[in-house]
Amino acid sequence: MGPETRAAPIGIFDSGLGGLTVVRAIRQALPHEDLVYLGDTARVPYGTRSAHTVLRYAQTCGEHLRQRGVKLLVVACNTVSAVALPMLRVELDIPVLGVVGPGARAGVAAAKGKRLGVLATPGTVASGAYSRAVAAEDPRVEVFAQAAPLLVPLAEEGWVSGQVPELVAARYLEPLFDAKVGALVLGCTHYPVLIDVIREQVARRCGPDVPVVDSAHALASELSELLRERELSNASTGPGRLRVLVTDRPSDFSAVARRFLGAELEESPVEAVDL
Ligand code: DGL
C-alpha cells in the first residue's frame, strides 16, 4: 500500500457511544493509528430494531466514513456486525472488520470446550450470528445466547454499580447460570461498562473460574493482524489522533464518553454530522 493509504485513519462506528469501549482497546493496541469514530446517537438503540432497519442505518454510517477516506472500517456494534457485515463488505471497497467473529473466537478459547454464554441485544440474539461464528470455530461448543436490552440504557445513564444493575444483570444471567456455561462473552459494546457487576454475579453463581470476555480486546488484536497482513499500518511513530462524529446531541457527549473511553477526549472537538 502507498504511504497515503497507510496514513489514512481507521473508521469505527457504533449505534451510539458504546463503541468507545472498542476505541479504547484499539488505542491501547495501536497507539499510532488515527481514528475516526462515528456514533449514531440520533438513532440509538439499534439492538431492538428490525434487521431491515439496521441494514439501512449501517449502510449510511459505512458510506459516510468511506467518503471521509478511511483505509479500513471497524464495525464496533455487535448488532450491525451480526446482520450487516456481508452487505458492508460487498458495498464498500475497503476492508471491513466486525466484532462478532473476534468475540466468538475469544469466547471459544475461554470456554475450553464447555458451553458458551453470550449476552447481547435482541437483534444480535435473533440473528444467530454468535452461534454461527462459534460453530465455524469449534462445532462442539454449544452457545446459549440471552438478550439483555435493559443493560444498554443503564450503561448510558452511568448506573454501573449498586442494586439496580445487580438485579438486572442477575435476572438476565439466570438462564445462562442454569445452562452451566463455562465462559461468558459480552456481545454488546455497552456491556463492558458494566463488567464489574456482571463479573461479580457470574463469580457468585458459577464460581471464580468462569471468565467474562470483552470482545473489544479480541477485535483490537485481530485488527493489528489485519493491518500488518494488508500492509496498512501507519508508519508514523507519533500518537494517533481521535476524531469523534455524532449524529445528535454533541454537547452531551463528553461526560458520557469519559465513562466508555476511560479517558478525557483530549483536544478533539465532537462534530455533529447529518446522515
Ligand atoms: N452497540 C450495540 C451493540 O453492540 C448495542 C446498543 C444498541 O442497542 O444500539 O449491539
Cβ–ligand 1 distance for 15 under 6 Å, the answer yes
Cβ–ligand 1 distance for 18 under 6 Å, the answer yes
Counts of helices then strands in the chain (DSSP H, E): 12, 10
> Higher pLDDT residue, 252 or 75?
75
Atom of ligand 1 nearest to the CA of 152: 6
What mean pLDDT is predicted for residues 163-180?
Answer: 96
Atom of ligand 1 nearest to the CA of 14: 1
Is the preceding peptide bond at 175 cis, omega within 30 degrees of 0?
no
Instruction: Identify which of 60, 63, 52, 55 has the alpha carbon closest to the alpha carbon of residue 85.
Output: 55
- The CA-atom distances, in angstroms, between 233 and each of 10, 12, 34, 99, 216 are 10, 16, 10, 20, 19
Partners of 117 in beta bridges:
144, 184
What's the pLDDT score for residue 158?
86
**Catalytic residue flag (residue 206):** no
What's the pLDDT score for residue 264?
59
The b/e string for 2-23 (b: 16+ C-beta within 10 A; e otherwise) is: eeeebebbbbbbbbbbbbbbbb
Cβ–ligand 1 distance for 152 under 6 Å, the answer yes
What's the pLDDT score for residue 269?
76
Tell me which of 10, 77, 120, 194 is the catalytic residue.
Answer: 77
The ranges assigned to domains in the chain are: 3-98+217-272, 100-215
DSSP, res 251: G
Tens of pLDDT, residue by residue over 194-226, are: 999 999 999 999 888 899 999 999 999 999 999
Contact 123, 150 (CB under 8 A): no
Tell me which of 188, 210, 242, 261 is the catalytic residue.
Answer: 188
Cβ–ligand 1 distance for 215 under 6 Å, the answer no
What mean pLDDT is predicted for residues 92-121?
Answer: 96
What's the pLDDT score for residue 32?
96
What's the pLDDT score for residue 176?
95
Tens of pLDDT, residue by residue over 55-102, are: 999 999 999 999 999 999 999 999 999 999 999 999 999 999 999 999
Q: What letter represents residue 217's amino acid? A: H
What mean pLDDT is predicted for residues 151-158?
Answer: 88
Kindly report the CATH number that applies to the domain delimited by 100-215: 3.40.50.1860
Topology of domain 3-98+217-272, CATH? Rossmann fold (3.40.50)
What's the pLDDT score for residue 2?
75
